C-alpha cells in the first residue's frame, strides 16, 4: 500500500511540474554541456522476498555530464539499510550497495527537466537476520552476493539558477541475493524500488547565449551604423578624432555563438580591415563587445569579451598589427535603448540594438 501511494505522489508531482513547464515555454539562459555533482537521501522499498521493512532510509552520490541537448550520463553510488520485518526473525538487517552508470533522456533544458533513465552496474546484497526463539533451526540467516545489476526509472531536475538545483527520481533496481532457508526464500533475482532526492551543483559548462532575433531583409543595410564623433576640446591641443563603427551582433555572429559568421567576416574585411591596412597613419583601435540586460551578468560579461576578442583575432589574421588592437567586454553596462518588462519576444527584439560590437579607430593622435 505504501509503495502504491509513493508511486501516486511521485506521478502527481511529475505531472504538475510538467504542466507548469509547458505553459511557461521560456528560455532561462542556462549554460550547456555542464558537469554536475549530486548527493542526497533515498528511501528503499525492498523486494517482498527479503522480508525487510519499507520506507528505509539511504544515501546516494552521483556525478553527471550533459552530453547533448537530450542525453546525460550519471555514474554513482548508493547505500541502503532496512531492518528485518517478519515474525520469524528477531533483529537483523538487509543492506544493499550499488554502483551504477545510467543514461538519461532529458526532455527539456529549461529550469524544469523531466527525464527517463536506464543503466547497468553492480550490486552487493547482504542479509543478516537473527532467527526468533521457537523457530528451527535457530541461529542466524545470512548471505552476501555481488552481482550484475540493472535499473530503470524516471524523474526530473529543477534548476534554481545556473549552478544549483535538485534532482528527484524513482527507479527499480534488479540484482541477485542469496540467503535461502525455511524462513527466508531468497535465492535468485530481486527487484528493489528506490525514491531519491538530492541537491545538484553544476560546473564547467559552456556559457548560455541569448538567441538573436532574425532580422527582416531591407533594401539597405541598417545593421551597420557609422558615425564620426569629435571629442570636445578640453585643452588647447589638436583634438583627437574617433571614427566609430557599430555592428549589430546578429550581423557578425552565428546564432548562439561567439564565432564570426561568413557574413560577419566579409563585413569586417570590407569595412574595417581594408581601412586599417591601407591607411597606416590611423591610430589605435578599441573593440567593445556589448550585450543586453537579459540573462546572467557573469555570462553576459564573458560573452561580450569573447565576441570582442573574436573580432580582434580576425583583424590580426587579416594582417592588422595586434599591438594597435584592444578588446574590451562591457556586458550590459552601456545600453543604447531601454525596454522595460520581463523576457518575451517583444523585449528581445526591442533590446536588439544593445547586442552589438563597437569598433573605435583613432584618426588623429593627440599632440
Decide which of 170, 203, 236 is a domain's last residue: 203
- 193: how many CB neighbours lie within 10 A of its CB? 18
Burial zone of 123 (CB within 10 Å; 0-12 exposed, 13-18 middle, 19+ buried): buried
What is the pLDDT confidence band of residue 61, given thresholds at 50, 70 and 90? very high
Residues 52 and 104 in one domain: yes
The stretch 249-274 carries a mean pLDDT of 87
Q: Is residue 140 part of a domain?
A: yes
**Which residue in 159, 62, 65, 75 sits closest to 109, CA to CA?**
159
Residues 131 and 171 in one domain: yes
Span 145-156, pLDDT tens digits: 899 999 999 999
Q: Is residue 165 part of a domain?
A: yes
Three-class SS state of 57: strand
**What integer pLDDT is reported at residue 47 of this predicted model?**
87
**Between the CA of residue 272 and those of 135, 217, 285, 337, what are the distances in Å?**
93, 23, 10, 25
DSSP code string of 309-366: HHHHHHHHHTT--GGGEEEEE-TTSS-S----SSS-HHHHHHTGGGSEEEEEEEEE--
Find residue 115's DSSP bridge partners. 106, 155
Q: Cis bond leading into 137, ω under 30°?
A: yes
Average pLDDT taken over every residue of the chain: 81
- 219 or 63: which carries more pLDDT confidence? 63
Residues 229 and 189 in one domain: no
- Is residue 210 over pLDDT 70? no
What is the pLDDT confidence band of residue 23, given thresholds at 50, 70 and 90? very low
Three-class SS state of 109: coil
Q: Is residue 324 part of a domain?
A: yes
Among the ranges given (14-23, 77-86, 176-185, 197-206), the one the predictor scored with the smallest mean pLDDT: 14-23
What is the pLDDT confidence band of residue 20, given thresholds at 50, 70 and 90? very low
- Give the separation between CA 86 and CA 96, rounded to whole angstroms: 19
Residues 323 and 191 in one domain: no
- Give the separation between CA 164 and CA 200, rounded to whole angstroms: 6
Q: Is residue 188 part of a domain?
A: yes
Residues 182 and 248 in one domain: no
Which span out of 31-35, 218-222, 230-234 was modeled with the highest average pLDDT?
Answer: 31-35
Q: Is residue 67 part of a domain?
A: yes
Residues 243 and 94 in one domain: no
pTM: 0.53
Residues 251 and 337 in one domain: yes
Q: How many distinct structural domains can be found in the chain?
A: 2
**What integer pLDDT is reported at residue 281 of this predicted model?**
77
What's the CATH code of the domain at 144? Answer: 2.40.160.20
What is the pLDDT confidence band of residue 179, given thresholds at 50, 70 and 90? low
**What integer pLDDT is reported at residue 29 of this predicted model?**
55
Three-class SS state of 297: helix
- Is residue 177 over pLDDT 50? yes
The stretch 17-29 carries a mean pLDDT of 41
Contact 82, 94 (CB under 8 A): yes
Residues 153 and 31 in one domain: yes
**What integer pLDDT is reported at residue 9 of this predicted model?**
45
What's the CATH code of the domain at 256? Answer: 3.30.1330.60
The stretch 342-362 carries a mean pLDDT of 88
Decide which of 174, 203, 232 is a domain's last residue: 203
- Is residue 268 over pLDDT 60? yes
**Contacts of 200 by beta carbon, 8 Å cutoff, 6+ apart:** 36, 37, 38, 157, 159, 164, 165, 166, 167
**What integer pLDDT is reported at residue 337 of this predicted model?**
92
**What integer pLDDT is reported at residue 2 of this predicted model?**
45
Phi, psi at 107, each rounded to 5°: -80, -15
Query: Which domain, by its residues, includes 79?
Result: 8-203
Q: Is residue 212 part of a domain?
A: no
Find residue 29's DSSP bridge partners. none
What is the pLDDT confidence band of residue 294, given thresholds at 50, 70 and 90? confident
Residues 256 and 162 in one domain: no
- 334 or 140: which carries more pLDDT confidence? 334
DSSP code string of 194-234: EEEEEEEEEESPBPP-PPPPPPPP-SS-TTEEEEEEEPP--
DSSP code string of 122-178: EEEEEEEEEEPTTSSS-SEEEEEEEEEEEEEEEEEEEESSSSEEEEEEEEEEEEEEE
**What integer pLDDT is reported at residue 285 of this predicted model?**
92
The stretch 215-238 carries a mean pLDDT of 48
Amino acid at each position: 500500500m505504501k509503495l502504491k501511494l509513493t508511486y501516486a505522489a511521485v506521478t502527481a508531482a511529475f505531472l504538475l511540474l510538467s504542466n507548469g513547464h509547458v505553459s511557461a515555454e521560456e528560455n532561462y539562459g542556462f549554460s550547456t554541456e555542464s558537469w554536475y555533482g549530486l548527493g542526497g537521501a533515498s528511501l528503499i522499498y525492498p523486494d517482498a522476498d527479503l522480508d525487510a521493512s519499507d520506507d528505509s532510509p539511504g544515501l546516494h552520490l552521483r556525478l553527471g555530464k550533459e552530453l547533448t541537448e537530450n542525453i546525460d550520463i550519471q555514474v554513482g553510488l548508493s547505500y541502503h539499510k532496512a531492518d528485518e520485518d517478519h515474525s520469524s526473525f528477531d533483529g537483523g538487517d538487509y543492506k544493499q550497495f550499488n554502483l551504477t552508470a545510467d543514461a538519461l533522456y532529458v526532455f527539456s533544458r529549461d529550469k524544469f527537466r523531466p527525464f527517463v533513465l536506464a543503466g547497468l552496474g553492480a550490486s552487493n546484497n547482504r542479509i543478516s537476520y537473527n532467527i526468533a526463539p521457537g523457530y528451527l533451526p535457530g541461529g542466524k540467516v545470512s548471505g552476501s552476493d555481488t552481482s550484475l545489476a540493472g535499473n530503470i526509472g524516471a524523474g526530473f531536475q529543477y534548476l534554481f539558477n545556473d549552478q544549483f538545483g535538485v534532482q528527484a527520481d524513482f527507479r527499480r533496481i534488479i540484482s541477485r541475493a542469496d540467503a535461502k532457508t525455511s524462513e527466508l526464500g531468497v535465492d535468485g533475482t530481486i527487484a528493489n524500488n528506490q525514491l531519491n532526492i538530492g541537491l545538484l551543483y553544476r560546473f564547467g559548462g559552456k556559457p548560455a547565449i541569448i538567441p538573436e532575433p532574425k532580422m527582416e531583409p531591407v533594401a539597405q543595410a541598417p545593421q551597420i551604423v557609422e558615425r564620426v564623433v569629435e571629442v570636445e576640446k578640453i585643452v588647447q591641443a589638436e583634438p583627437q578624432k574617433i571614427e566609430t563603427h557599430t555592428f549589430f551582433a546578429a550581423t557578425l555572429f552565428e546564432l548562439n555563438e561567439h564565432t564570426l559568421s561568413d557574413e560577419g567576416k566579409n563585413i569586417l574585411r570590407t569595412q574595417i580591415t581594408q581601412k586599417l591596412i591601407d591607411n597606416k597613419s590611423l591610430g589605435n583601435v578599441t573593440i567593445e563587445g556589448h550585450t543586453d540586460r537579459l540573462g546572467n551578468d557573469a555570462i553576459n560579461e564573458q560573452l561580450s569579451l569573447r565576441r570582442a576578442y573574436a573580432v580582434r583575432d580576425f583583424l590580426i589574421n587579416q594582417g592588422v598589427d595586434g599591438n594597435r588592437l584592444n578588446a574590451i567586454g562591457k556586458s550590459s553596462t552601456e545600453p543604447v535603448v531601454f525596454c522595460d518588462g520581463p523576457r518575451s519576444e517583444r523585449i528581445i527584439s526591442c533590446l536588439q540594438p544593445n547586442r552589438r560590437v563597437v569598433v573605435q579607430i583613432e584618426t588623429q593622435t593627440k599632440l
